Amino acid sequence: MASIDEFIAASAELTGFGGAELWATGMAEVYWAVVLEEAGAAAVGRLVAEPLGEGERELARAVAGLWYLGSWSVAGGVPVVVSSAAYERGLVWRAFGGQAPGTGPRGHGSWTVEPERSR
């Protein structure tokens, strides 16, 4: 059976975020459990062996989506948010230097300053 380290390495390849960054979200173990539960060990084994191969392309999309959005979504299905923490730590917000709406207070007027990425 694949290990969580292999899962993180595959996730890094799929998301473009480094393994340390993925661990730093605090969601690694939760997502590992979600993916095993939803996809099964066999499919996960094939994914970690060849993350960008054609064989598990749908699973690759679901895993990348999980890291970016905090929700599990497969083609044709309704996305399920793993938890409020998963929503908060979605990489899509990190990707442009933002924060998930409704999380993490900033300061009054923080929206007036130029976004960090443009500096």
Applying CB under 8 A, the site for another protein has a residue count of: 51
Binding to another protein in span 52-81, by CB under 8 A:
52, 54, 57, 60-61, 64-65, 68-69, 71, 73, 75, 78-81
Rounded Cα gap, residues 37 and 31, in angstroms: 10
Q: Which of residues 97-116 bind another protein (CB under 8 A)?
A: 97-103, 105-115
Q: Token digits for 46?
A: 């094939």
Q: Which span (1-9, 23-31, 39-47, 95-103) binds another protein, by CB under 8 A?
A: 95-103
Q: Using the rule CB under 8 A, which residue among 1, 14, 30, 39 binds another protein? A: 14
Radius of gyration of the chain (CA): 15
Among 3, 5, 16, 33, binds another protein (CB under 8 A): 16
For Cα atoms 73, 76, 82, give the angle at the middle one, nearest 5 degrees.
20
The residue written with tokens 């599990």 in the block is 72
Dist CA 98 CA 81 (whole Å): 19
